[in-house]
């Protein structure tokens, strides 16, 4: 191996979707959130694999992301856009037939005026205060002419089952949606699926759980990132490694240099992380630079050809913890410089 290799297990993504689907009743439809290039893993391959296992409602963040999903899944499956509708999306709307999740009175009136015959969804604010109609908006708007396909809200604290805001938002959602058909309702992302049936309503919208991340503790891991060692050098006691001379050898050391860095999404905050060689943890030493990372391999009984940044010894959440962030950010930061190989699907 001469280049860093990002291996993405499509069968694991499909299995995670099926496992999340089994957590809700048969009548509940499990959707699939594939925004941000399927959390950085490649929206075309991921959407096709999810379609093949049974997903028929896909969710993206912005209208332009619907193009690749439509190309991957073909006509039929519904594609919902969380950002809703902005004038100017008309061409994308015709091309992809996405469903905007209208989230303000302005969006509702603009969409109703420009596309009176096209289906859409509504997004309600139940306490997160990012997007969505407020109860007083709902009362003031005439929604009778809209061809509604989904009415949703989003939970702010679903990764913490003990958080009182979960039940509060659920109650607010029920209060706001009493006038809509039950089969339109959607509240749960991955965390909400795990909170149990009270949170499932008609359609669930898992994202991170599909990709092997917390809070779905039973997820199958999806990614492996293996990076070739560019060179190994001897560093004497008292010599420093990397920018700022931030690490100084306290013993005669063997330092492996990898041709990856923060420009590849391996955040500078990973300066205290470990990578693995055949199961042995090797500490990152010195600062992560833009294109290079240095790792202490002194304790390895062999000369490593590659080090695993992500893999069986360290999942996305463990790596995220080393950088003080979350698995979501580790995945979406990975970027486009890696050679990608898809398994299964």
Q: Tell me the catalytic residues.
A: 35, 243
Q: Which is nearer to ligand PLP, 129 or 145 (CB)?
A: 129
Q: Which is nearer to ligand PLP, 33 or 282 (CB)?
A: 33
Exposed, middle or buried: residue 206 (CB in 10 Å: 0-12, 13-18, 19+)?
Answer: buried
Sequential DSSP letters for 297-339: -TT-SS--SEEEEEBTTB-HHHHHHHTTS-HHHHHHH--S-SE
> Is 189 near ligand PLP (CB under 6 A)?
yes
Residue nearest to ligand PLP (CB): 207
Sequential DSSP letters for 190-220: HHHHHH-GGGT-SEE---GGGGT-TT-TTPP
For residue 19, the number of C-alpha atoms closer than 13 Å in the C-beta half-sphere is 18
Report the candidate in 215, 219, 208 with the shortest Cα–Cα distance to residue 32: 208
Q: Which is nearer to ligand PLP, 259 or 326 (CB)?
A: 326
Tell which positions 203-222 bind ligand PLP, by CB under 6 A.
205-209
> Is 170 near ligand PLP (CB under 6 A)?
no
- Using CA atoms, how far apart are residues 96 and 215, in angstroms rounded to an integer? 32
- Minimum gap (Å) between residue 39 Cβ and ligand PLP: 7
Q: Which is nearer to ligand PLP, 16 or 289 (CB)?
A: 16
Structure tokens at 128: 């997160």
Tell which positions 65-84 bind ligand PLP, by CB under 6 A.
82
Report the candidate in 68, 6, 2 with the shortest Cα–Cα distance to residue 265: 6
Q: Which is nearer to ligand PLP, 55 or 208 (CB)?
A: 208
CB 307 within 8 A of CB 256: yes
Among 190, 271, 306, 314, binds ligand PLP (CB under 6 A): 190
- Minimum gap (Å) between residue 101 Cβ and ligand PLP: 8
> Is 127 near ligand PLP (CB under 6 A)?
no
Question: Which distant-in-sequence residues (6+ apart) come within 8 Å of 262 by Cβ?
Answer: 268, 288, 289, 290
> Is 33 near ligand PLP (CB under 6 A)?
yes
- Give the contact letters, 148-167, x = binds to ligand PLP (CB under 6 A), - = no: ------x-------------
CB 216 within 8 A of CB 22: no
The residue count for binding ligand PLP (CB under 6 A) is 12
Task: Find the part of the chain contacting ligand PLP (CB under 6 A) among 163-171, 188-196, 277-285, 286-294.
Answer: 188-196
- Minimum gap (Å) between residue 35 Cβ and ligand PLP: 6
- Using CA atoms, how far apart are residues 94 and 88, in angstroms rounded to an integer? 11
- Minimum gap (Å) between residue 159 Cβ and ligand PLP: 7
Q: By the criterion CB under 6 A, which residues form the site for ligand PLP?
A: 33, 35, 82, 154, 189-191, 205-209
């Amino acid at each position: 191996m001469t280049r860093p290799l990002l291996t993405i297990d499509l069968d694991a993504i499909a299995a995670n979707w099926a496992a999340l689907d089994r957590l809700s009743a048969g009548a509940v439809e499990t959707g699939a959130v594939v925004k941000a290039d399927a959390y950085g893993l490649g929206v075309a391959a991921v959407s096709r694999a999810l379609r093949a296992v049974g997903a028929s409602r896909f969710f993206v963040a912005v209208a332009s992301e619907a193009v690749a999903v439509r190309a991957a899944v073909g006509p039929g499956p519904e594609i919902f856009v969380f950002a809703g509708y902005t004038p100017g999306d008309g061409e994308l709307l015709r091309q992809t037939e996405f469903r905007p999740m209208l989230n303000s009175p302005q969006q509702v009136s603009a969409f109703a005026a420009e596309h009176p015959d096209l289906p859409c969804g509504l997004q309600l604010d139940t306490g997160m205060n990012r997007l969505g109609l407020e109860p007083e908006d709902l009362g003031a708007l005439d929604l009778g002419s809209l061809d509604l396909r989904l009415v949703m809200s989003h939970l702010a604290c679903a990764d913490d089952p003990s958080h009182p805001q979960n039940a509060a938002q659920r109650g607010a959602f029920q209060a706001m949606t009493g006038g809509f058909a039950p089969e339109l309702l959607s509240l749960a992302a991955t965390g909400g699926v795990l909170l149990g049936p009270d949170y499932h309503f008609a359609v669930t919208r898992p994202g991170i759980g599909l990709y092997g991340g917390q809070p779905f503790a039973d997820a199958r891991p999806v990614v492996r990132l293996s990076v070739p060692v560019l060179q190994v050098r001897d560093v004497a006691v008292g010599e420093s490694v990397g920018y700022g001379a931030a690490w100084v050898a306290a013993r005669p050391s063997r330092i492996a240099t990898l041709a990856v860095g923060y420009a590849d999404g391996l955040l500078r905050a990973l300066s205290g992380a470990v990578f693995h060689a055949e199961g042995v943890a090797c500490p990152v030493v010195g600062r992560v630079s833009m294109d290079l990372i240095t790792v202490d391999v002194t304790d390895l009984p062999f000369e490593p050809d590659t080090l695993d940044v992500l893999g069986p010894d360290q999942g996305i959440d463990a790596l995220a913890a080393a950088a003080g962030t979350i698995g979501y950010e580790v995945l979406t930061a990975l970027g486009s410089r890696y050679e990608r190989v898809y398994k299964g699907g």
